[in-house]
Amino acid sequence: MLSVIIPTLNSASTISLTLSSIFSNEFPRESFEVLVVDNGSSDRTVEIAEKYPVKIFYCSKKGIGPPRNFGARMAEGGIVCFTDSDCIVERDWLPKIYGFFKKMPEADGVGGPVLPYPYYQKKIQKLTGEIFVEDQGYPEKLKKVEFGSAQGIIFGSNSAYKKEALMSVGGYLEPGGSNLELAWRLASK
């Protein structure tokens, strides 16, 4: 079983699109569950999420790491899939994740591309085109990542891990939940 985990905070304007895209996947409904982990929303996020066949949990520890870890602990599936409450996944997202782990049973995790909502695309195109990672002991080649070419980096908003592997390294660091740091720990185990 796949477990889709969606951390959320005040996402009333986007969570319906996220959930609709997940439930539009061409994947057997009995083969996945969706966990929405609310981080203290004060808008209608939870009310909107309740209209879908999801499990809703509350996580009072702030940040992106705590709700992701909480969701992973509550997940029934052996593979935990993460997306954010402002993302729209493709119709073949779940089949691709399932197929990847079937084809690559030795893999601990997989990630896919993350593209901006069309509304934000023009704003994002104004960026300088480079992302700099703080010096946290990562190899030199990971300190500067060209925008759009982050090969080898798994983004939290489009990622999946074997639950056992994720838990064996302690999950995401809290409160930050750095995807790069998590990938580093998984690769180093």
What's 163's domain CATH number?
3.90.550.10
Is the per-residue pLDDT at 82 higher than 70? yes
User: Which range, of 34-38, 46-50, 52-56, 173-177, averages the lowest pLDDT?
Assistant: 173-177
**CA-CA distance, 99 to 88, in Å (whole number)?**
20
Q: Residue 94: what pLDDT?
A: 96
Report the number of distinct structural domains present in the chain. 1
Alpha helices in 4-162 (DSSP H): 15-23, 45-49, 65-74, 93-103, 118-125, 140-143
Binned at pLDDT 50, 70 and 90, residue 42 comes out as very high
Query: pLDDT at position 115, please?
Result: 61
Question: Which residue reads 């983004």 in tokens?
Answer: 155
Domain that holds residue 37: 2-188
pTM assigned to the model: 0.81
Query: What's the mean pLDDT in 35-63?
Result: 97
* Spacing of C-alpha 105 from chain mean position: 20
> How high is the pLDDT of residue 154?
63
How confident is the model over 121-172, as pLDDT tens digits? 554 444 434 343 333 333 333 333 333 434 455 666 788 999 999 999 999 9
Judged by DSSP in three states, 83 sits in: strand
Over residues 36-59, the mean pLDDT reads: 98
Residue 98 is encoded by which pair of tokens? 């399932």
Token pair for 96 = 């691709």
64 compared with 175, residue with greater pLDDT? 64
C-alpha closest to that of 87 among 181, 165, 11, 148:
11
Report how far residue 54's alpha carbon sits from residue 4's, in angstroms, rounded to the nearest whole number: 10
Using the predicted structure, report yes or no on whether residue 95 has a pLDDT greater than 80: yes
* Nearest by Cα to 28 from 95, 104, 127: 95
